[in-house]
Chain A
Amino acid sequence: MLAAVLSLTVLGLALGWLLGLAARRFRVDVDPRVAQVEALMPGSQCGQCGFPGCSPAALAVVNGEAPLTLCPPGGKALVEALGNTLGISVDTSAMNDGDPQLARVDETICIGCIKCLRTCPTDAIVGAPKQIHVVMERACTGCGACIEICPTGALALMEEEPTLRTWRWAKPQLVAA
């Protein structure tokens, strides 16, 4: 009987030790890394998240004071990147699936007041007084700053249209759980 108790104790200890080792070895590092998070942010300092800019926003995210979904320009990709960096899993399925949005000028309405051009944090809008303005897709972060300032309502955010270059395979949906 003694032998049984003894060997079981040893067995338990051995198992525990191995499991502990495995747990430690495979633990996801949850170190807050503000700089890393900030590097992921779009950096347009647009303030849509309710913070004065990207680095305060990054700090808030790392400290858990703001949700990972705070930044509209960053879109789903940013949320997932943040989740991976911070080791937090977020359900992005509830998020607007349209990914990053882009501003677009309705040429029939624009009066060329150059207000949007002055406001855009990334200088993504080109134009001249009394001319129809155009948003350069490549530079637009979809922050929406121009939308509010436009006196005629010529600007609107629209989903970035997927192209063959940006199309990606969706995650497979498993029926059986």
Chain B
Amino acid sequence: MTTPISGPHYHGQRSVRGIMAQVMLALVPATVFALWQFGWPALFLFLLTLLSAVVTEALSLHLAGKAKCAFLLDGSGLLTAWLLALSLPPWAPWWIGVVGGAFAIVLGKQVFGGIGQNLFNPAMLARVALLISFPVEMTRWAAPQPFTATGAPGFVDSLKITFSGGTNLDSLTGATVLGHSKTELTRGIGLDVSLSDIYTPLDYLFGLSGGSFGETSALLLLLGGLYLLVRRIITWQIPVAMLATVALLAGIMHLVDPLRYADPLLHLLAGGLMLGAFFIATDPVTSPSGGLGQLVFGMGCGVLVYVIRTWGGFPEGLAFAVLIMNAATPLIDHYLRPRVYGRSRRGTPLTYTAEQLGREKE
């Protein structure tokens, strides 16, 4: 007789592949919009990153002797690459995407033992690695050049931009608001001046500004995030805690000195915060699995993002913040477990006084 199977003999409709597909679906609006904004070079970069990740994943699975189909089809590698692509400068040269995608898969995921085993968010690990290795390429932000815009590069020009470093790129690049204001601050110029020529909240909301590929349209990312919340792919704890913490800190500091510290709205809309809060920090593998732990995790990310943005060496701190909190995840999960039925928070069996029970009698 074969060994009997224990219950439940019933299963909900969820699958890993389904979850990954839903997340990608939620990313589609922001991605399509970003592709529109940044034109052909962005599309090339996007596809290259994805391709690189899939090929590398197939290769490492082959080397590890694991079943390729099952794991390739779960879509987690694709999602990682997608998130990484969205955090790259849209006109970065081709090898940024290729190296990044491969790095994310091999060093971010497979060396840990594959899906579910990695300690750090692979996309953010790759982004940080790229940022450190290629600081110039990684901070050359293109200003939006929609396909229809007059100055937009054509197909052939775009190929040149992506594959040969392009011609006079500098004329096309703009600065991000976070980077710009930071540079200006060091020159003694207050936010009132430095922001006036570059920052309009509405542009940031709709994504009409320069910046990483998919980080720009806060509104579309927010919509995608809400979709994930509604479908219960992610929980509210991490995004809410993270956004609220950033807003709170920014609010306090803005009240202290509005010339030095930008207002909360700017912090919420700029950089990769929306993407990070809904899509990156919520990566299931590297974030805590309990609700309370997720709150703490989100708050931690929020604090770190704000601190790095405001006082750190980089204009954007999302990747670092998430990675640091990833490292804290095992500890958080160990100490912040849910309360068990019939036990106190400390784990001892509950006791009721006669009065508590008596009151129940009514």
Contact = CB atoms under 8 A, between A and B. Distances in A.
Q: Are any A and B Cβ atoms less than 8 Å apart in their complex?
A: yes
A15 B3 contact: no
Given A26-B334, A169-B6, A177-B66, A3 B327 contact: no
Given A6-B313, A169-B6, A26 B323 contact: no
Contacts of B4: 169
State the majority secondary structure of interface residues on B: helix
Contacts of A4: 132, 135, 313-314
Nearest to A177: B66
Contacts, number: 46
Contact of A170 (B3, B66, B119, B132): B3
Interface in A1-56: 1-4, 6-8, 11, 14-15, 18-19, 21-22, 25-26
B70 A176 contact: yes
Contacts of B135: 1, 4
B321 to A, nearest CB: 10
Contacts of B3: 170, 173
Interface residues of B, number: 21
Given A15-B323, A173-B3, A177-B66, A8 B330 contact: no
B67 A26 contact: no
A140 B331 CA distance: 47
Interface in B86-128: 119
Contacts of A2: 313
Nearest to A14: B324
B132 A8 contact: yes
A15 B323 CA distance: 8
Nearest to A6: B313
A3 B308 CA distance: 11
A11 B312 CA distance: 11
B326 to A, nearest CB: 9
Interface of A: 1-4, 6-8, 11, 14-15, 18-19, 21-22, 25-26, 169-170, 172-173, 176-177
13 contacts: A3-B312, A3-B314, A6-B313, A7-B312, A11-B323, A14-B324, A18-B327, A18-B328, A19-B119, A22-B327, A22-B330, A170-B3, A172-B6
Interface of B: 3-4, 6, 66-67, 70, 119, 132, 135, 308, 312-314, 320, 323-324, 327-328, 330-331, 334
